[in-house]
Amino acid sequence: MENIKNKVVIVTGASSGNGKATVKKLAHEGAKVVMFSRTEEKLSALKNELSEYVVDYKVGDVRNLSDVKGLVKYTLDKYERIDVFYHNAGVLPMGALANSDAEKVSKWQQAFDTNVMGVVNGLAACLPVMVKQKFGHMIATDSVMGHLVIPNAAIYCSTKFAVRAIMEGVRQEHLEDNIKSTIISPGLVSTGLLSSVDDKGMEAWIEGELKDDTKALSPESIADAVAYAISTPKNVAISEILIRSSKHVL
Which of the residues are catalytic?
156
End-to-end CA distance of the chain: 29
Beta pairing partners, 136: 179
* CA nearest to 21, candidates 217, 221, 238: 221
**Which residues, at least 6 apart from 51, have a Cβ–Cβ distance to it below 8 Å?**
none
Phi then psi for residue 235, to 5 deg, are: -95, 15
How many whole angstroms separate alpha carbon 155 and alpha carbon 198? 13
**Phi-psi map region of 33: left, alpha, beta (phi>0 left; psi -120 to 50 alpha):** beta
How many whole angstroms separate alpha carbon 138 and alpha carbon 166? 11
- Edge to edge, the sheet with strand 240-243 lists 55-59, 32-37, 8-12, 84-87, 136-141, 179-186, 240-243
Contact 70, 124 (CB under 8 A): no
Cα separation values, 190 from 56, 93, 101, 187, Å: 26, 16, 29, 10
How many whole angstroms separate alpha carbon 32 and alpha carbon 22? 12
